[in-house]
Every structure is written in structure tokens, then in C-alpha cells.
Copies of this chain bind each other. A is one copy, B any other.
Amino acid sequence: MIVRPKTGWFRMLFAWEHSVRNTILAPLGIIFLLSLAALWGYRRSDAFFLCLSPVPFSLIGVALAIFASFRNNACYERYWEGRKQWGVLSCATRDLARYAVTVPSPAAAPSDVRHLVNTLAAFVHVLKHQLRGTDPSRALHEFLGDAHARDVLRRAHRPQYLLTCVQRQLASWRRDARIDDILLAAALAHLDRLSQAAGACERIRTTPVPYPYEVLLHRTTYFYCVLLPFGLVESIGWATPIVTVFIAYAFLALHTIAGELEDPFGQDANDLPLDALSIQIERAMRDTLGDRDLPPAAVPDARYRLD
């Protein structure tokens, strides 16, 4: 995620927006060359054989507008829902930590509470690694110790298994009569929220926007941009290259951003900062336990990027 602060209207015109620009430089270059060709052809002969009228562009424009705004909305919604689900994770883990500290009576042993919090932190980190397709071993060893970590790594559904561990611990508190059935049910409700949030993240990751939308919008956008100079050259003459490249820039960049947001858990510049969120969740739980030596919060790098 880019967390660049707002600047004045003038400086913002020249802001750097990372990945987007890199991805579309090549097609923009091609389109620029095509506009020069269109201009050259048009100058050479008025009856330049590829000189289109602007009419088809407004017709394709209708299709493009429907497609692009649909895909854009769908992708942004996936991004925002992903963020909301991590908000649920953040909230339910805090609620469980608060619960563990205040509710059991007689109070649970501090080491037990710490173990619960560690398992929850491991759950969050493992989920992050699963969503990103990276290796969770280090996080597991750090939070759970080697034996338990190896046990978790053997499982097919690791986040799910860690929730089972937490639930086992809560059930043991009931057996020790620290909480009764009602308060156990209240705690299970928090675990179910965690389970649902993890499931929702998985759903977003495994179910992309239907593939033909991608292909169709991709083709329409490029077809539109490639034909553009031949449609504009008659009406705006030598301004064709500038205007064409700008219009193409707007459409291709929109297309690229939506593509990045589609899988919000990836590691593109505009994806969700799952590292920062995981640390934040861990910090909040430790703060509830009263710890003083919290792990440092993640900060954006020099290019305003937060992972």
C-alpha cells in the first residue's frame, strides 16, 4: 500500500505511482509510435487510407465504459472487503485477548493467557503466508516453539488447525471451571468470527473476477487505444500524439490498477499491507497483556510503500 501524504495540486501532477507506470510503459510507447505514423500518413496525403472518423470511438466507448467501470468496482470491492476481513481479524483477536485477561474467574494463569495470544498471533501470520503463498515456518517457530510448529506444518489447513488449538484451550478453561458454558459460547463466537474472516480471505484469493471479463476488457481497451490515433488525426492534427498517449495512459492505468487490486493479498505496490497489519494485531494483543516491549510498528519505506 502507498501511504503518501497529500500534497498540493501542482506537485501531485508529477507524483510517482510505482508499479502502474512500469507496467504500461511499453504499450504506451507503441501507441506513441502509432500516433506518429498516423500523423505522418495524414500529412502526406489527405486521403490517408487508415484515417477513421471519431464515430466508432464513441460507440466502443459505451462498451468500454460499461466494462471498465464494472471491473473497476468489482476489483475495488474485493480490495476493500479484504481490508474489512483483516479488520475483523484485528478486532476479534483483541476481543479474545481482552476476554482472556478479564473474564476467567479465577483468573487464568499468565502463561496460559500468553500461550493463547501466541497461538492467535501465529494464526494471523500463518494466514498471511497462506494468502501470499509464502513460507510460514519462521513465524510458526517463533510463536509456538519448534515441536508445536512442526505439528502445525504437517497439517493441510494450518490456520484452521490453530483455531482448533485455541478452542481446545478455551474448553480446558471450562473444565477447570474458570469460565462456564455461557462464557465459553461467547468466546467461541469470537473464534467463529476469526474462522469466517479467514474463509472470506480465502474466497477472495481463490475466486478471481471471471476470466472472460479480464480478457474482454483487455482486448477492448487495447483495440480502442491502438485505433485512437487514426480516429483523432483528422480533427486535431499535430496534437494527436499528446492527446492519444494521454487518453491511452488513463485507460491503461485504470486497467492496471484494477488488476492489482483484484488480488488484494499479493505483493504489488497497491496491495494490502499484510505484514504491517499482522504486526499491528500482535502489538495490540501484547499491549492488552500489559507488555512493555512491543515489536516495533511497521513504517512505510522511503517511497511511501508499506508492505
Contacts and interface: CB of A to CB of B under 8 A. Distances in A.
A294 B300 CA distance: 42
Interface residues of A, number: 122
Interface in A180-199: 180-186, 188-189, 191-192, 195-196, 199
A183 B186 contact: no
Interface stretch (A33-41, A120-128, A134-142, A245-253): A245-253
State the number of copies, please: 5
Interface in A41-61: 50, 52-61
A75 to B, nearest CB: 10
B73 A70 contact: yes
Contact of A270 (B98, B211, B270): B211
A250 B1 CA distance: 30
A200 interface: yes
A52 B183 CA distance: 72
Contact of A254 (B1, B67, B223, B270): B67
Interface in A15-29: 15, 17-18, 20, 23-24, 26-27
Contact of A236 (B4, B52, B157, B218): B52
Contacts of A110: none
Contacts of A223: 246
Contact of A12 (B57, B186, B218): B218
Given A63-B251, A98-B167, A155-B287, A212 B91 contact: no
A261 B18 CA distance: 25
A187 to B, nearest CB: 10
B257 A199 contact: no
Given A67-B254, A192-B95, A294-B156, A210 B261 contact: yes
Contact of A184 (B90, B183, B184, B210): B183
A98 B199 CA distance: 14
Given A60-B250, A70-B73, A168-B102, A53 B235 contact: yes
A228 B26 CA distance: 28
25 contacts: A1-B211, A2-B211, A3-B208, A9-B24, A9-B27, A9-B222, A13-B219, A15-B215, A20-B212, A52-B243, A54-B55, A56-B232, A56-B236, A61-B62, A63-B254, A64-B250, A67-B250, A70-B72, A87-B202, A91-B199, A105-B175, A156-B284, A160-B284, A186-B188, A210-B261
The 7 closest A-B pairs by CB, nearest first: A2-B211, A53-B235, A91-B199, A63-B250, A181-B182, A87-B203, A17-B212
